[in-house]
């Protein structure tokens, strides 16, 4: 009688060892600003203690909550300043469940041994789709018509209302969002030009121009997709708006500091701009409610679409962000992996195998000064280092090392010796 042999995989499946932290209490996680449920479920599944809030926390309330947590997850409203981080003695990692990280003092976090992760790409499609909707709405003056209808005013007009087919879209910043927007716009018959400080291979038939002024002068619609940097603050002011074609449109779904609000107001009220769409502002309320009172001049501008920073606020984007950031945080907590951290050296090691029961992982954040690796390797001298990797970023360096045949007594001795070194910032041992 023939027996069927089970099919063997062409790739050997190595079962990783489940690591646990030495000299650490149960992991406590604080999630603010209604972080997506996918992240909450992922953390609970790992056995972490999770506390959630639907709003941002500020002042003493934030300081009190951050004192004893190991992980904090935020979106764009919670500000983790130097003063706040000074009270976070147990904090080892921050998750920004959004694109930007300017709400976190990245340098202070790194110097305190706190890695920061974000989600730079998960909401790209959502933002790109919003821009397409805004382009069509501006071209047809849908915002003004909608407001009039809510006021009981019937105003059927076609003057200064246009199709977007055949129009030129100018994209400032051809990253993930800009590139997706480029493809969507071309599929609707628009011609796409873009400006970026880097030379980038365009998608489709998009064309790169050499200067910002060149782009502004030819585009019917200008859409901004740049990060908040010193170079991009106040990027669009009086000169740039005057350089734009008369009757063109400006869209800002990037960062609020990129556009000078008074210049935008002048451009709209003078009629030089036919319309604008703004999703981000230099100063934004910390919570929902009747708090948007800083820009009264904007409210009287014609054909202006204003939205409350909702570019990435779709169920799909928030779900993907929750998965992406929670995965990065879990790998950092459980394995020490710092790949894609925004303020930290990026280091990773292959997993310790399940059968390597006496192998431990040393994770050492230290000041980037000469002699540290020599000192650490002298501490490791009586052990077999299976694998080791170190990298640095500015003043911070990060070392991961797997050491075999370590007894529980030796584990304590290793930890004490490493944490006693003069360059030590934070040391963790997983075993």
The question of whether 309 is a catalytic residue gets the answer yes
Structure-block tokens of residue 303: 């054909």
Chain-centre distance of CA 154, in angstroms?
43
The residues near 61 (Cβ < 8 Å, ≥ 6 apart) are: none
Find, among 77, 35, 82, the residue nearest to 63 by Cα.
Answer: 82
The question of whether 255 is a catalytic residue gets the answer yes
CA-CA distance, 115 to 367, in Å (whole number)? Answer: 14
Query: Is there a contact between 224 and 253 (Cβ–Cβ < 8 Å)?
Result: yes
The count of C-alpha atoms lying within 13 angstroms of the C-alpha of 207, restricted to the half-sphere facing its C-beta, is 10
Q: Which residues pair with 428 in a beta bridge?
A: 363
Chain-centre distance of CA 312, in angstroms?
11
CA-CA distance, 329 to 73, in Å (whole number)? Answer: 9
Chain-centre distance of CA 421, in angstroms?
34
The question of whether 284 is a catalytic residue gets the answer yes
Determine which one of 75, 255, 361, 364 is catalytic. Answer: 255
Determine which one of 284, 346, 356, 386 is catalytic. Answer: 284
DSSP 258: G
The residues near 383 (Cβ < 8 Å, ≥ 6 apart) are: 403, 404, 405, 406, 410, 414
Find, among 196, 194, 183, the residue nearest to 221 by Cα.
Answer: 194
Structure-block tokens of residue 23: 């000299």
Determine which one of 309, 364, 366, 428 is catalytic. Answer: 309
CA-CA distance, 267 to 254, in Å (whole number)? Answer: 19
Q: Which residues are part of the catalytic machinery?
A: 255, 284, 309
């Amino acid at each position: 009688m023939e027996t069927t042999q089970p099919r063997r995989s062409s790739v050997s499946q190595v079962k990783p060892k489940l690591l646990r932290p030495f000299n650490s209490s149960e992991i406590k996680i604080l999630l603010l600003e209604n972080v997506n449920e996918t992240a909450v479920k992922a953390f609970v599944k790992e056995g972490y203690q999770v506390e959630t809030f639907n709003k941002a926390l500020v002042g003493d309330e934030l300081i009190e909550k951050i004192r004893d947590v190991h992980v904090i997850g935020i979106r764009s409203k919670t500000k983790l300043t130097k003063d706040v981080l000074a009270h976070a003695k147990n904090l080892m990692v921050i998750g920004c469940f959004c694109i930007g990280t300017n709400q976190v003092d990245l340098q202070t976090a790194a110097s305190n041994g706190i890695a920061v992760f974000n989600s730079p790409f998960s909401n790209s499609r959502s933002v790109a789709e919003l821009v397409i909707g805004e382009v069509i709405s501006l071209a047809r003056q849908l915002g003004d018509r909608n407001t009039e209808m809510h006021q009981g005013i019937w105003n059927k007009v076609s003057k200064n209302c246009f199709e977007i087919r055949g129009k030129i879209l100018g994209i400032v910043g051809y990253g993930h969002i800009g590139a997706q927007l480029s493809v969507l716009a071309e599929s609707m018959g628009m011609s796409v030009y873009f400006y970026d400080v880097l030379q980038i291979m365009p998608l489709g038939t998009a064309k790169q121009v050499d200067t910002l002024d060149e782009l502004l002068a030819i585009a019917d619609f200008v859409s901004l997709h740049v990060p908040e940097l010193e170079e991009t603050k106040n990027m669009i002011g009086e000169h740039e708006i005057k350089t734009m074609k008369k009757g063109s449109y400006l869209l800002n779904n990037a960062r609020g500091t990129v556009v000078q609000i008074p210049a935008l107001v002048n451009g709209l009220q003078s009629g030089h701009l036919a319309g604008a769409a703004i999703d981000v502002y230099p100063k934004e309320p910390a919570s929902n409610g009747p708090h948007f009172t800083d820009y009264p001049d904007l409210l009287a501008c014609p054909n202006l679409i204003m939205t409350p920073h909702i570019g990435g606020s779709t169920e799909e984007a928030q779900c993907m962000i929750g998965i992406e950031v929670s995965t990065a945080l879990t790998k950092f907590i459980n394995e020490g992996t710092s790949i894609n951290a925004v303020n930290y050296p990026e280091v990773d090691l292959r997993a310790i195998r399940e059968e390597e029961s006496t192998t431990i992982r040393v994770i050492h954040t230290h000041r980037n000064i000469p002699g540290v690796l020599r000192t650490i390797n002298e501490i490791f001298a009586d052990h077999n280092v299976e694998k080791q990797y170190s990298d640095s970023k500015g003043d911070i360096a990060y070392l991961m090392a797997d050491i075999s045949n370590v007894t529980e007594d030796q584990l304590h001795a290793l930890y004490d010796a490493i944490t006693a070194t003069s360059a030590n910032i934070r040391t963790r041992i997983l075993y």
